[in-house]
Chain A
Amino acid sequence: MGARVRAELWAGVLWSLAFAAVAAEPLPVSAVAEGVYVHWGAQEDSSPRNLGDIANLGFVVGERCVAVIDTGGTAEVGRRLRAAVRQVTPLPVCYVINTHVHPDHIFGNGAFEAESPTFVGHVKLPQAMAARGSTYLHALERDFGDAARGTKVIAPGTVVMDEAQLDLGGRVLKLRAWPTAHTDNDLTVYDVRTGTLFLSDLLFVERIPVVDGSLKGWLALHPRILALEPARVVPGHGMVKGSLGGALAAQEQYLSTLQLEVRAAIGKGWTLRQAVDRVGTPERRNWLLWDSFHKRNVTAAYAELEWED
């Protein structure tokens, strides 16, 4: 038997093994552009009921292989995402890109390990995973019980300091590592062929944005994001129904109101606790999950802005 025949046979065996391992129910995905697929996560708090399937996940299919962009909040969501990839293409997953450290974006990584992809993230992602990974895992095990089974932290093997390109075979993804904004390890992915920009959590739509990096840094990125003029964007949460400008303006309205009011609170000598109890109610009606995250945002904003002057 020639080496080539043997290799092909092996490829066939591995392909069926891979398929057998993917017994999970595929996540529903939409083709938002040629070869670009998105699963729209639920606009809910992460819970055992939704298995942590709350973030938008995606994959892009090249001629040689597939890049997955974020993997969901549990190993099970990752398995389902992998099943969705398999429904679309038999090509291997060569890259798993994590857009930042948050658990709803990274905890499905383990489901792709069997395909030995290169895990890719912002240069500060390994450090953030080190500092937070065990806390996230512990909280997931505490809150999800059995539904957390198999979930683990997988750090990137390749990191992006500034910009990088991934070749999927006849198709190039441009990755960009941003300065501290939503977190200190935000990475965006741009599919050159279709002009699709995966902004991940640099853009929240309808769901309240979470400040876990720098409020000022995030606001400073808004004009830079707008200037990219992508053909379409995939936010980390929610769907852009109108223009990117409109979606960014809504987010800016929340973030700048937060900044204004927290600055005023600090100026008036309010304590952190007082600011948390009082700041920002006019924006409340505009956002989902306000009660879960607004107080937290006030806390983060206060801790950042009190060092001004």
Chain B
Amino acid sequence: MKGFVGKLLLGGLLGLAVVAGTGSAADEKAKDEPWPKLSKVLFGDRTIKEDAGDVLTLEAPVRAEDAAVVPIAIRTRLEQTPEKYIRKIYLVIDKNPSPVGVVFTLTPDSGKADLETRVRIEEYTHVRAIAETNDGSLFMATKFVKASGGCSAPAGKDLEAAMARLGKMKFRVDKEVAYNQPNQAQLMISHPNISGLAMDQVTRLYAPPHFVRRIDVSYAGKTILTAEVDFTISENPNFRFYFVPRGEGELKAEVVDTNDLRFETSVALRGAPGS
């Protein structure tokens, strides 16, 4: 049910943004800024603390060098403890066709809510990370990213190669972990993440959307990270995150895409000597 609500929310915002995002150069002006509307839909009238550098910062390049692969990093200052932790991080890209394409859910077992991923950006836009702590407070960090020029586009580079490798997954993590503290891991998913927004010029038909929509990561059976995502995420979705191992266990990722294809991968981990 929760996933369904998430999907509805993303779907609704997608419609809103398509309307808001089709303006031309002249309307870079405030009246067309989508954020007030987005904020209202996502958070109602709740207070959002802006420039919340004491809670989180956002790293994004000044210019999207490659519109298809823009690295984004969220750095947080809070330790994830059962008493106080960041439970959600929304990544909002105001002018993207789907501005709220990435919502992370975190737990105390994440250890540290730092996240890195790669997104598609085709327009001059604000990029925002909004953290929600377990007491319901909201904190935001914002960056402005210039669109890339020239021949850069948010589409992939070799659809055939991406399709051939669809569903292949890989963890990059030290096989020997340090117990009871945050360890970093990287999850790579091979998937074309097709938006469904590209129209064939000859047939006038749209290629059907086919993208990863949900990722669940657990360690030793406990949830570390959940991500509700869409084609905002670059082809071959890629995430770096932290987790806290309390003992030997299996780091596992389960992925579902819009065609209800399911993929999973796991890696068995144990403590480094002395940990």
In angstroms, Cα B170 to Cα A307, docked, is 9
Instruction: Tell whether B156 is near chain A: CB-to-CB under 8 Å.
Output: yes
A-B contact pairs, 8 of them (CB 8 A): A131-B153, A132-B155, A135-B155, A139-B149, A210-B150, A272-B69, A276-B71, A300-B157
Question: Which residues 98-151 of A have a CB within 8 angstroms of B?
Answer: 101-104, 124, 126-136, 138-139, 141-143, 145
Q: Which of A104, A135, A307 contacts B154 (CB 8 A)?
A: A135
The 9 closest A-B pairs by CB, nearest first: A131-B155, A155-B201, A132-B153, A102-B151, A296-B65, A295-B65, A299-B66, A130-B200, A131-B198
- A142 near B24 with CB under 8 A, answer yes
Question: Which residues 91-136 of B have a CB within 8 angstroms of A?
Answer: 116, 118, 122-123
Contacts of B198 in A (CB 8 A): 130-132, 134
In angstroms, Cα B203 to Cα A126, docked, is 10
In angstroms, Cα B146 to Cα A139, docked, is 12
Contacts of B200 in A (CB 8 A): 126-127, 130
Contacts of B202 in A (CB 8 A): 126, 155
Q: Can you list, as one digit per residue, whether each of B60-90 has a CB less than 8 Å from chain A (1) or not (0)?
A: 0100011101010100000000000000000
Given contacts A102-B151, A299-B65, A304-B157, 7 further A-B pairs with CB under 8 A are A124-B160, A134-B199, A135-B155, A184-B157, A184-B160, A213-B157, A272-B118
Question: Which residue of chain A has the shortest Cβ distance to B148 in the bound complex?
Answer: A296
The SS class assigned to the A binding surface is helix
Chain A nearest CB, measured from B54 CB (Å): 23
Instruction: Tell whether B14 is near chain A: CB-to-CB under 8 Å.
Output: no
Instruction: Tell whether B147 is near chain A: CB-to-CB under 8 Å.
Output: yes
User: How many interface residues does B have (CB within 8 Å)?
Assistant: 44
In angstroms, Cα B207 to Cα A271, docked, is 32
- B71 near A271 with CB under 8 A, answer yes
- A126 near B201 with CB under 8 A, answer yes
Instruction: Tell whether A214 is near chain B: CB-to-CB under 8 Å.
Output: yes
Chain B nearest CB, measured from A83 CB (Å): 25
Q: Which one of B73, B155, B157, B234 has the highest number of Cβ atoms from chain A below 10 Å of its Cβ?
A: B157
- B69 near A271 with CB under 8 A, answer no
- A127 near B59 with CB under 8 A, answer no
- B71 near A136 with CB under 8 A, answer no
In angstroms, Cα B168 to Cα A306, docked, is 13
Instruction: Tell whether A45 is near chain B: CB-to-CB under 8 Å.
Output: yes
Q: Which one of A135, A180, A293 has the highest number of Cβ atoms from chain B below 10 Å of its Cβ?
A: A135
In angstroms, Cα B67 to Cα A303, docked, is 13
Question: Which residues 68-90 of A have a CB within 8 angstroms of B?
Answer: none
Known contacts A296-B65, A300-B69, A130 near B207 by CB under 8 Å? yes
Chain B nearest CB, measured from A221 CB (Å): 14
- A139 near B147 with CB under 8 A, answer yes
Instruction: Tell whether A212 is near chain B: CB-to-CB under 8 Å.
Output: yes
Instruction: Tell whether A196 is near chain B: CB-to-CB under 8 Å.
Output: no
